[in-house]
Amino acid sequence: MSWLRVLMILFCAAAGIARASITAAWKIPVERVAPSYADAPPLAKPPGDSAFFQPGDKIWDLSKCIYWNVLDFAGVGESDLSNGPAPGEVKIDWKGDWIVWNSRSGMIVARGSWHDVLVAEQVLRCDELPKVIRTRIEVKGTGKPRSLSLISRSGEKASLEMNELLAEVETTSSSDGNACDTQFFVSWPAEDSHWTWEVKTAVTLGNGSPCQIACQGTKDQRWELVVSTEEELMDGTPSKEFCWVETPDGLRAWSNSGVRGKPLRKQLDANRWLGIYPMAKGSASHFLAEARSRPGPDVTGPELAEWTRMPLLNIRPVLEERGVAFRNERDCACIDPLTGTAFVLADQVTQDLAEYLFASVLDGELVPPIWIETNPESGGWGLASRSGERAEIRRSSSDPGNQLLFRSEATEGGDGVIFDLGYAIDVVSGDVKIGKLEANTTLTKDKPQVIGSGTAPDGKEVKVTVTVSKPPSN
């Protein structure tokens, strides 16, 4: 049995749905996996009742023209896995009910058990589809509406200027596609064209989730800069919507399909549990490297036999060094070098510690931006950034008297409550600069702090208050 089939069974059996029959579909070019599909005529009728089909659809059977191959490691069971044998391919015998191509929807549709469908997704190489990142930028508030949308490849720079709105971005997608690290430079002229606003920052954004990253002003003089990043297929389909599953309530996007699973637990006896922790390749490689640096016997046991193929590498010492306490000699922690799946045999307390540890090193973990905002009386500044990085808003002008600056560099403490902040803030009344602060301070999350005060030109006292929090929702 190939390792992919073992991995699929792991998920299906742990969820108690190995024999459930489902129908799923993937928006994927059929030529990638079945280039000869049109050599046979389309089916006279759909292979079964499904919401994926409509009257008049042209449907082709793919079961005989797909190459049913999955990656495998040659000689598993006889070779030394710790040396990492070269991967190859092995042919499998797919047991699903049917798999077809629907030309109207541009989808490959399959029906079978959860195991069959997940194996089909692996055979279709869904994780190898070319993807791009779409960045959307919108300036809300004063003046005429301005917005941009541009696509780029992960890790590469892109720029676009239109309607006097300029955006320069460099976006890198996480390995699971759930988050994007993006560096922004955005500029646009003020409505009266006496000056130009510029925003420079870097944030990590959830896939497709709009986020306010900057603002300034109050009431009708206030503007807000809102951005989003979203991973897409080449035809513009959002990657989180390329896979769908049929449910009793209709079709829904199946964004957590395939091996992007969540931790699972199975109770073995009164105080002994099996924890199963799938990891992305980047995360698993760290644990594998540490396990291989500590030669020792492979882990075996009847509790593991139904879940994965032997041998497994011992990572209990690795977890213990990172604070996971094992309270029984027979407790163990191990990792499958083929699938990157970790297994822990222990009580619930130890499982909680292990799950927290594995979650902390998952690829693409979303760390929300830090939002620094001042009170309206001092200018109503707001700016999002990543921890430990400098960000700024500038109002540039040929007249030095019209230039403004808001700069912040916030660093989150280990508890997520205390933040160190370095700042330079021009205090503004209306659109006129009346003062400037520059210093460092320590803030508590969501608790405003008065960092300065003084007498304004009109004789009234102005307090400058700053707050650290998460960016406002949009």
Is residue 84 located within the same domain as residue 103? yes
* Predicted pLDDT of residue 35: 93
Whether residue 474 lies inside any domain: the answer is no
Q: What share of the chain is helix, strand, coil (3-state, %, to 5)?
A: 15, 45, 40
The DSSP symbol for 192 reads T
Whether residue 125 lies inside any domain: the answer is yes
* Predicted pLDDT of residue 176: 67
Whether residue 407 lies inside any domain: the answer is yes
Whether residue 183 lies inside any domain: the answer is yes
Is residue 102 located within the same domain as residue 249? yes
**Dihedral, CA of residue 338, residue 340, residue 341 and residue 344, to nearest 10:** 100
Q: Which of 360, 386, 412 is the last residue of a domain?
A: 360
Is residue 354 located within the same domain as residue 386? no
Whether residue 259 lies inside any domain: the answer is no
Is residue 94 located within the same domain as residue 168? no
Whether residue 135 lies inside any domain: the answer is yes
Low-confidence stretches of the chain (pLDDT beneath 70): 1-20, 70-89, 114-115, 175-176, 193, 255-263, 280-282, 295-296, 300, 305-310, 338-339, 360-366, 474
Q: Are 73 and 87 in contact (CB under 8 A)?
A: yes
Q: Which of 360, 390, 407 is the last residue of a domain?
A: 360
Is residue 121 located within the same domain as residue 246? yes
Task: Please state the domain count of the chain.
Answer: 3
Is residue 62 located within the same domain as residue 25? yes
Is residue 194 located within the same domain as residue 301? no
Is residue 418 located within the same domain as residue 399? yes
Residue type, 155: G
Whether residue 99 lies inside any domain: the answer is yes
CA 466, distance to chain mean position in Å, is 30
Q: Which of 326, 360, 394 is the last residue of a domain?
A: 360
Give pTM, 2 decimals. 0.71
Is residue 184 located within the same domain as residue 301? no
Structure confidence by residue, pLDDT tens digits, 105-156: 999 999 987 667 877 887 888 878 899 999 999 999 877 889 999 999 999 9
Angle between helices 114-123 and 3-15 (to 10 degrees): 150
* Predicted pLDDT of residue 382: 97
Is residue 115 located within the same domain as residue 248? yes
Is residue 7 located within the same domain as residue 122? yes
Extract the tokens encoding 28: 């994927």
Residues 6+ apart with CB under 8 A from 433: 401, 404, 426, 427
Using the Cα atoms of residue 361, residue 362, residue 364 and residue 370 in order, give the sign of their dihedral.
negative
Q: Which of 122, 209, 199 is nearest to 168 (CA)?
A: 199
Is residue 120 located within the same domain as residue 157? no
Domain boundaries, position 314: 264-360
Whether residue 174 lies inside any domain: the answer is yes
Angle value at C-alpha 107, between 105 and 112, nearest 5 degrees: 130
